[in-house]
Amino acid sequence: MASKNFNAFEMAQKQFDSVAEMLNLDQATKDLLRNPMREYHFSIPVKMDDGTVKVFRGFRVQHNDARGPGKGGIRFHPQETIDTVRALAMWMTWKTAVVDIPLGGSKGGVICDPHHLSMKEQEQICRGWVRQLSKDIGPLRDVPAPDVMTSAQHMLWMLDEYEIITGNKYPGLITGKPVGMGGSLGRTEATGYGVIFTLREALKELGIDPKKTKASVQGFGNVAQYAIELYLKLGGTVIAVSCWDQDDQTSYTFLKKDGIDFPKLLSITDQFGGINKDKAKALGYEILHGDAWIEQDVDILLPCALENQINSETVKKIQKNVKVIAEGANGPTTPEADAVIKERGIFMIPDFLANAGGVTCSYFEQVQSNMNYYWEKEEVLSKLDVKMTSAFLSVSELARTKKLYMRDAAYVIAIDRVAQACKERGWV
């Protein structure tokens, strides 16, 4: 979550303003797109297990739905702020537009800490959130999904509450549901695989054989694990992984110069993506400090963990052989670091393109739920490959022809698509 002096929404607006200038957008379109169309702030009273009643604050921000129903996750976090939710809703608008799926951008949140709540209390928050918004969400209006500290179980409670209120079955209300209860196969792999589908295309464009490449990865959670799995299938070598140690909750980089043994590393990893340091040492890994992943002499850097990791300080540590950065995480690179990366000519695959596999697969889940017919896993993943590849090719072609940095090109395409939709509807 954002620190006191960092305002995510101000950053999102700044990013928008600079691209709005490049696109010469008129004032009305700028005014419409730099702010959310609708916001909901509400209270959720919950009867706690000890008999007391506690009131939680909830939010839903619908940034823009010119291209289709809103889409975006719901976060449970003690430091949740309306500005964080506004920023994420805005970024979702651009993310759905860049991969050209017919959805808009929304985001939701509740100020709470699930670590200190029983499952019964969490269920009441979920149902209370839906009760407050039942008229303003829906399969054709705004489709929520899991996010930080929410899961498939939370989504199912929310769906159940919505169906009780409406008296009908609406599996397309929400995505990220359990498989067998309207969830989609392939959703688990989607984000990590999407990162590698775009990386594969970037390497083709640069004329680099994946089999001759080495990568260093930050993170070893869901996104990183599936990204590594697919990258290894392409013939690449991962020499370093940075993540938490299971016991002392400190971040380390696990280095093996001749390449990690992925299945063995997985066998000593907990459910949160933390590797056991002592067992890794016994397997012959060098244990370095947490930031060492960025200092490795590799061709590819894959930041798949936290925001603000490649910044004005750490960018200086990137080795001269690095050719591609593919952002699996949201916001891992600051604007100051971007300027350096651009100057050095490193090929950047920006976060809201590289990690859009998740929302693309959520869209596939929504489509399957709405038509009540589910695809096999291979079909889901091959459709994902087609979508991610075509999105990447549009962005890289614009970057080449207009001599733009990849992040700017992705923003230009996304914002232009949304602005066009608003114009064609006659809103501006």
Amino acid identity, position 127: R
**What φ, ψ does residue 326 adopt, rounded to 5°?**
-115, 115
Give the C-alpha separation, 315 to 358, whole Å.
Answer: 27
DSSP letters for 265-330: HHHTB-TTS-B-HHHHHHTT-EEEEGGGGGGS--SEEEE-S-SS-B-TTGGGG--TT--EEE--SS
35 near 12, Cβ under 8 Å? no
- Integer Cα distance of 31 and 48 in angstroms: 43
107 is catalytic: yes
In whole angstroms, give the CA distance from residue 301 to residue 322. Answer: 7
What's the rounded Cα separation, in Å, for the pair 299 and 281?
25
Instruction: Name the nearest CA neighbour of 60 among 79, 88, 33.
Output: 88
CB crowding 114-147: b at 16 or more within 10 Å, else e: beebeeebbbbbbbbbbebbeeebbbebbbbbbb
Phi, psi at 357, each rounded to 5°: -60, -35
Supply 128's token pair: 């209370």
Among the listed residues 71, 107, 177, 387, the single catalytic one is: 107
Active site residues: 107
